[in-house]
């Protein structure tokens, strides 16, 4: 098939991101031609401010160098401005006569700075702040002149003023409004910001309207005159009063424009062959001026250009961060509040900290932070996800650490961390390495940072910290992923929720069927999505969907835990933590016979035999099985252990027979696969020696029955289990615990522990289905028992079946 022709007008961040996304999806689909009015390859416009401030150089901010265009076969016409689109003949014509035909056209013309229509606006020394040329003009002016006036105290204006001040100019910021950055900040935050900018040497003239720019003797601008009569000297005037989507070309070509070029949810204009992304586009009446939404648009647009056609852009919530070194400001959403909203405010003017959170019902809808913005990313995530904050409302203001991240308490101020401070404790990655990778490779997402540095790619407990570093390094370009609708992995655009629903509603029974139905982009997935799909299939359609060993992580495939040297560990099950002399004797014999180098008690009260070669596993299992020992599933996303205290059987304080209860629970749950590992504990009295407060299901015996707790976690981030309900007897413990675990099995996303699952759906949701609705509880319980019936010990299955056993054997090739 002949390649189609794609022409892009505008060589900026939104457009180039679209091309990058497109090349990932369909590298050979189009012959691509790019026209850019500026004589540069694509650079990071957001970082012009650090360049002006002298903190970075122009070379540092190039995102796609000329080699990138060449390597991807893209024809680049840099410095050539397109002046005409002939939609009938489907071609574009540049000012110098260069022409290019298109099958699809992508408009990414960005925006134009708004220039106040006042006398003198065209004088030398009057500029906007938009591109490299403007930045260079400012740097040049700072060398020869001393008085600068910045008109407009928005984000851009303040960054320009700060940069000019750092370059030695005397800078006054003129602003029409009563406080600075009024589109991003409320007055108290703005006042604090102004105070610290004044301390840096900036001057402000608020409530002033510019009437005229006065020409000096040299012909250059010399002063700014205000409507109220006053005036101030100015050798350089920077207009930063706003931007307008650049729609001139589109309008001239008869494409429907309002505030911007009007696009639908697939970023197509009224001419379906013509797309528009970025600042020039108006989607549902909004033209975005920050980079994060543009990247979301780019993704959807690329998706559509590649004929995938499943992505939709539905608008963005934006956040703002000011890039002035040493000053931390963050704002997002509806920060002014109003009717029907509540405000939580922390105001410490002397300490230079101001925080305001705006809530509506049980949702966070806006935030302004000044002085301490460490939790900005977290608030933004809560806001975007529309998460219910009812349960954390009383300490929401104190930030994420206060909600219980024990792993990194006191280490939340990413910006203040020294470069050599270790961020990722699993992979030994320090802050400097992360910042360097972000700058050198132009990274914008947490996934990119993971790929390049390995930071936060193992246990994930430092994810928040890495996000903060990313946010403070790239500023407004940082957009946290939507945690709810996040795609399963790079193989698909579908989220876990969508995949689960499709498997259930369309009765999909195999991984290939799911991949075909949901339009997977890769032939057989990857190591992230296949285990998830396999779990969703066998948990949704037990006894019907077939388990696929090749889609399980090695531990679940080999029914043992792989260790760093490639050997395995074997943990026989000890129901409720109980064992017998006979079992111990067999374990001891096996340990000697197979020369097991390490024998250890696990955290779940059983014995671990470490250092067994894979080919020996079936032999070890055969010996253990002869004494009735079965797999402890210490390797699985499955039921692990039920830890017990000795309880009323022996303990003088015991109120319930906890060992007995624990054994019954563990026998019931044997062979239960789940989104992540599941651990239970049963204590015989409120002294709670079995530590039931940090288990997925914790049972605590009391004189009148049992208290049930769920969604605790003792791992990466300690979570105290929440009280679910109180029950009278052993049968009720089995039914309620079983129903809760089945609900988790049916609704949980793969690799989501119960604590994350309950945090996502809310404890009320769980209580409604498991505690209040008796009929539903029984149905859940029965579905669990049905799924678990006839489960065979996987160790004995491997011992018995030659075909399975063979996979443990090594093939020897000799001469």
Partner 1 sequence: MNDRTEWKKVCELEDIPRLGSRVVKSAAGMIAVFRTAEDEVFALHDKCPHRGGPLSQGMVHGKTVTCPMHGMKLGLDTGEAVAPDKGCAKAFEVKVDGGCVMLLLKAGA
# residues contacting partner 1 (CB under 8 A) = 32
All residues at 6 or more sequence positions from 57 whose CB lies less than 8 Å from its CB, including other chains: 51
At 10 the three-state DSSP class reads coil
With vertex at residue 757, the alpha carbon angle to CA 756 and CA 762, rounded to the nearest 5 degrees, is 105
Question: Whole-number minimum distance, CB 16 to partner 1, in Å?
Answer: 19
Pairing of strands 561-562, 568-570: antiparallel
**Binds partner 1 by CB under 8 A, chosen from 120, 376, 525, 577:** 525
Handedness of CA 470, 474, 476, 478 (dihedral sign): negative
The footprint of partner 1 on residues 603-642 (CB under 8 A) is 614
Does residue 67 bind partner 1 (CB under 8 A)?
no
Comparing CB distances to partner 1, the nearer of 491 and 743 is 491
Tokens standing for residue 774: 């008796």
Question: Whole-number minimum distance, CB 613 to partner 1, in Å?
Answer: 11
Tokens 């500029």 locate to: 127
Comparing CB distances to partner 1, the nearer of 52 and 462 is 462
**Binds partner 1 by CB under 8 A, chosen from 457, 479, 540, 742:** 457
Minimal CA–CA distance to 588: which of 627, 561, 632, 616?
627
At 659 the three-state DSSP class reads helix
Tokens 């457009």 locate to: 15
Comparing CB distances to partner 1, the nearer of 320 and 473 is 473
At 364 the three-state DSSP class reads strand
Question: Whole-number minimum distance, CB 525 to partner 1, in Å?
Answer: 5
Comparing CB distances to partner 1, the nearer of 319 and 433 is 433
**Binds partner 1 by CB under 8 A, chosen from 294, 558, 708, 766:** 558
Question: Whole-number minimum distance, CB 379 to partner 1, in Å?
Answer: 31
Tokens standing for residue 114: 């708004």
All residues at 6 or more sequence positions from 799 whose CB lies less than 8 Å from its CB, including other chains: 618, 621, 622, 625, 805
**Binds partner 1 by CB under 8 A, chosen from 523, 592, 775, 790:** 523
Comparing CB distances to partner 1, the nearer of 59 and 550 is 550
Interface segment toward partner 1; rule CB under 8 A; list 68-76, 92-100, 459-467, 517-525: 517-525
**Binds partner 1 by CB under 8 A, chosen from 2, 144, 307, 564:** 564
Tokens 């992508």 locate to: 106
Comparing CB distances to partner 1, the nearer of 595 and 812 is 812
Question: H or E stretch including 535?
Answer: helix 529-540
* Cα separation values, 440 from 59, 452, 600, Å: 10, 11, 46
The footprint of partner 1 on residues 415-444 (CB under 8 A) is 441
Comparing CB distances to partner 1, the nearer of 111 and 457 is 457
Q: How many residues does the chain have?
A: 815
Comparing CB distances to partner 1, the nearer of 124 and 549 is 549
Interface segment toward partner 1; rule CB under 8 A; list 45-53, 144-152, 452-460, 629-637: 452-460
Interface segment toward partner 1; rule CB under 8 A; list 91-99, 120-128, 265-273, 558-566: 558-566
Question: Whole-number minimum distance, CB 528 to partner 1, in Å?
Answer: 9
Comparing CB distances to partner 1, the nearer of 246 and 551 is 551
Question: Whole-number minimum distance, CB 306 to partner 1, in Å?
Answer: 18
**Binds partner 1 by CB under 8 A, chosen from 527, 601, 775, 802:** 527
Q: CA-to-CA distance for 599 and 604, rounded, in angstroms?
A: 14
Q: CA-to-CA distance for 660 and 483, rounded, in angstroms?
A: 41
Does residue 815 bind partner 1 (CB under 8 A)?
yes
Binding to partner 1 by CB under 8 A, coded x per residue (else -) over 748-787, reads: ----------------------------------------
Question: Whole-number minimum distance, CB 814 to partner 1, in Å?
Answer: 8
Question: Whole-number minimum distance, CB 805 to partner 1, in Å?
Answer: 12
**Binds partner 1 by CB under 8 A, chosen from 4, 218, 325, 524:** 524
Comparing CB distances to partner 1, the nearer of 263 and 560 is 560
Cα 399 → chain centroid: 18
Comparing CB distances to partner 1, the nearer of 26 and 526 is 526
Tokens 């940069």 locate to: 163
At 295 the three-state DSSP class reads helix
Question: Whole-number minimum distance, CB 646 to partner 1, in Å?
Answer: 39
Question: Whole-number minimum distance, CB 465 to partner 1, in Å?
Answer: 20
The footprint of partner 1 on residues 537-556 (CB under 8 A) is 549-551, 553-554
Comparing CB distances to partner 1, the nearer of 531 and 698 is 531
At 291 the three-state DSSP class reads helix
Does residue 486 bind partner 1 (CB under 8 A)?
no
Q: CA-to-CA distance for 225 and 211, rounded, in angstroms?
A: 6
Comparing CB distances to partner 1, the nearer of 330 and 673 is 673
Q: Compute how many other C-beta atoms are within 10 angstroms of the C-beta atom of residue 691.
A: 16
At 219 the three-state DSSP class reads coil
Does residue 27 bind partner 1 (CB under 8 A)?
no
Q: CA-to-CA distance for 410 and 465, rounded, in angstroms?
A: 11
The footprint of partner 1 on residues 785-814 (CB under 8 A) is 806-807, 810-813
Interface segment toward partner 1; rule CB under 8 A; list 385-393, 468-476, 521-529, 788-796: 521-529
Tokens standing for residue 165: 């001040």
Handedness of CA 217, 219, 220, 226 (dihedral sign): positive
**Binds partner 1 by CB under 8 A, chosen from 340, 566, 581, 802:** 566
Q: CA-to-CA distance for 212 and 192, rounded, in angstroms?
A: 30
Handedness of CA 131, 136, 139, 142 (dihedral sign): negative
Question: Whole-number minimum distance, CB 617 to partner 1, in Å?
Answer: 12
Interface segment toward partner 1; rule CB under 8 A; list 11-19, 178-186, 229-237, 451-459: 451-459
Tokens 């005159």 locate to: 225
Comparing CB distances to partner 1, the nearer of 161 and 489 is 489
* Cα separation values, 2 from 25, 61, 236, Å: 18, 36, 53
**Binds partner 1 by CB under 8 A, chosen from 5, 87, 215, 452:** 452
Comparing CB distances to partner 1, the nearer of 581 and 802 is 802
Comparing CB distances to partner 1, the nearer of 87 and 452 is 452
Please state the three-class secondary structure of 231-272 as a single string.
Answer: EEECCEEEECCCEEECCHHHHHCCCCECCCEEECCCCECCCC
Q: CA-to-CA distance for 137 and 156, rounded, in angstroms?
A: 16
Which residue pairs, CB below 8 angstroms and at least 24 apart, start in 377-381? 377/464, 377/467, 377/468, 377/471, 377/478, 377/480, 378/464, 379/330, 379/332, 380/317, 380/319, 380/332, 380/480, 381/480, 381/483
Does residue 458 bind partner 1 (CB under 8 A)?
yes
Comparing CB distances to partner 1, the nearer of 243 and 443 is 443
Q: Are 180 and 194 in contact (CB under 8 A)?
A: yes
DSSP conformation class of 403? G
Comparing CB distances to partner 1, the nearer of 354 and 808 is 808
Question: Whole-number minimum distance, CB 562 to partner 1, in Å?
Answer: 6
Tokens standing for residue 662: 């624990």
**Binds partner 1 by CB under 8 A, chosen from 530, 643, 679, 805:** 530
Question: Whole-number minimum distance, CB 782 to partner 1, in Å?
Answer: 34
Minimal CA–CA distance to 680: which of 718, 641, 713, 719?
641
Site residues, partner 1 (CB under 8 A): 441, 451-452, 454, 457-458, 522-527, 530-531, 549-551, 553-554, 557-558, 562, 564, 566, 614, 806-807, 810-813, 815
């Amino acid at each position: 098939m002949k390649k189609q022709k794609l022409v892009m007008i505008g060589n900026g961040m939104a457009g180039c991101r679209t091309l990058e996304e497109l090349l990932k999806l369909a590298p050979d689909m189009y012959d691509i031609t790019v026209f850019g009015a500026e004589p540069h390859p694509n650079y990071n416009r957001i970082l012009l401010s650090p360049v002006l401030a002298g903190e970075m150089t122009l070379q540092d901010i190039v995102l796609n160098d000329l080699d990138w265009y060449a390597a991807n076969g893209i024809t680049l016409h840099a410095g050539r401005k397109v002046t005409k689109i002939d939609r009938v003949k489907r071609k574009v014509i540049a000012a110098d006569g260069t022409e290019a035909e298109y099958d699809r056209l992508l408009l990414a013309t960005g925006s134009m700075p708004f220039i106040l229509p006042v006398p003198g606006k065209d004088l030398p020394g009057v500029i906007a702040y938009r591109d490299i040329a403007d930045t260079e003009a400012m740097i040049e002016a700072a060398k020869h002149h001393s008085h600068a006036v910045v008109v407009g105290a928005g984000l851009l204006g303040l960054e320009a003023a700060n940069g000019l001040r750092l370059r030695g100019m005397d800078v006054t910021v003129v602003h029409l409004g009563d406080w600075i950055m009024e589109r991003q900040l409320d007055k108290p935050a703005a006042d604090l910001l102004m105070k610290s900018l004044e301390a840096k040497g900036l001057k402000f003239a608020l409530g002033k309207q510019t009437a005229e720019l006065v020409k000096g003797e040299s012909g250059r601008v010399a002063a700014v005159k205000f409507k109220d009569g006053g005036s101030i000297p100015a050798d350089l005037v920077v207009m930063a009063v706003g931007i307008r989507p650049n729609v001139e070309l589109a309008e001239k070509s008869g494409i429907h424009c309002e505030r911007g070029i009007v696009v639908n949810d697939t970023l197509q204009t009224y001419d379906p062959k013509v797309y528009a992304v970025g600042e020039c586009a108006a989607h549902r009446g909004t033209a975005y001026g920050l980079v994060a939404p543009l990247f979301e648009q780019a993704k959807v647009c690329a998706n559509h250009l590649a004929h995938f056609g499943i992505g939709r852009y539905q608008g963005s919530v934006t956040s703002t961060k000011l890039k002035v070194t040493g000053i931390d400001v963050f704002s997002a959403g509806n920060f002014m509040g109003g009717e029907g909203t509540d405000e939580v405010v922390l105001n410490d003017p002397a300490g230079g900290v101001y925080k305001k959170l705006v809530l509506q019902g049980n949702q966070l809808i806006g935030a302004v932070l000044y002085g301490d913005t460490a939790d900005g990313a977290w608030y933004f995530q809560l806001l975007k996800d529309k998460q219910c904050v009812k349960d954390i409302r009383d300490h929401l203001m104190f930030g994420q650490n206060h909600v219980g991240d024990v792993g990194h308490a006191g280490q939340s101020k990413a910006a203040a961390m020294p470069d050599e401070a270790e961020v990722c404790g699993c992979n030994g990655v320090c802050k400097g390495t992360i910042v360097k990778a972000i700058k050198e490779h132009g990274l914008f997402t947490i996934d990119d940072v993971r790929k390049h540095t390995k930071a936060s790619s193992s246990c994930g407990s430092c994810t928040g910290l890495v996000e903060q570093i990313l946010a403070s390094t790239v500023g407004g370009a940082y957009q946290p992923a939507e945690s709810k609708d996040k795609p399963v992995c790079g193989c698909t655009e579908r989220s876990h929720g969508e995949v689960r629903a499709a498997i259930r509603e369309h009765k999909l029974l195999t991984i290939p069927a799911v991949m075909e139905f949901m339009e997977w982009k890769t032939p057989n997935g990857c190591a992230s999505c296949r285990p998830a799909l396999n779990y969703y299939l066998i948990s949704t359609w037990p006894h019907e969907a077939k388990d696929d060993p090749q889609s399980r992580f090695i531990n679940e495939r080999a029914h043992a835990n792989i260790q760093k040297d490639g050997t395995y560990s074997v943990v026989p099950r000890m129901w409720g933590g109980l064992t017998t002399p006979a079992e111990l004797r067999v374990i001891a014999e096996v340990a000697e016979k197979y020369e097991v180098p390490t024998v250890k008690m696990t955290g779940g009260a059983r014995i671990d035999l470490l250092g067994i070669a894979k080919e020996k596993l079936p032999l070890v299992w055969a010996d253990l099985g002869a004494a009735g020992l079965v797999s402890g599933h210490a390797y699985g996303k499955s039921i692990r252990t039920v830890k017990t205290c000795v309880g009323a059987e022996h303990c003088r304080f015991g109120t319930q027979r906890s060992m007995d209860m624990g054994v019954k629970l563990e026998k019931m749950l044997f062979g239960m696969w789940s989104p992540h590992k599941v651990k239970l504990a049963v204590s015989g009295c409120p002294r709670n020696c079995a530590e039931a407060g940090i288990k997925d299901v914790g049972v605590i015996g009391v004189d009148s029955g049992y208290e049930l707790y769920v969604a605790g976690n003792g791992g990466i981030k300690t979570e105290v289990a929440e009280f679910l309900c109180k029950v009278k007897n052993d049968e009720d413990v089995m039914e309620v615990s079983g129903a809760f675990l089945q609900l988790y099995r049916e609704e949980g996303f793969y690799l989501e522990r119960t604590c994350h699952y309950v945090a996502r759906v809310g404890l009320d949701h769980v209580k409604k289905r498991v505690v209040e609705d008796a009929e539903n509880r029984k149905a859940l319980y029965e579905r669990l028992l049905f799924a678990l019936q006839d489960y065979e010990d996987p160790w004995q299955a491997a011992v018995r079946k030659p075909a399975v056993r063979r996979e443990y054997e090594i093939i020897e090739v000799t001469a």
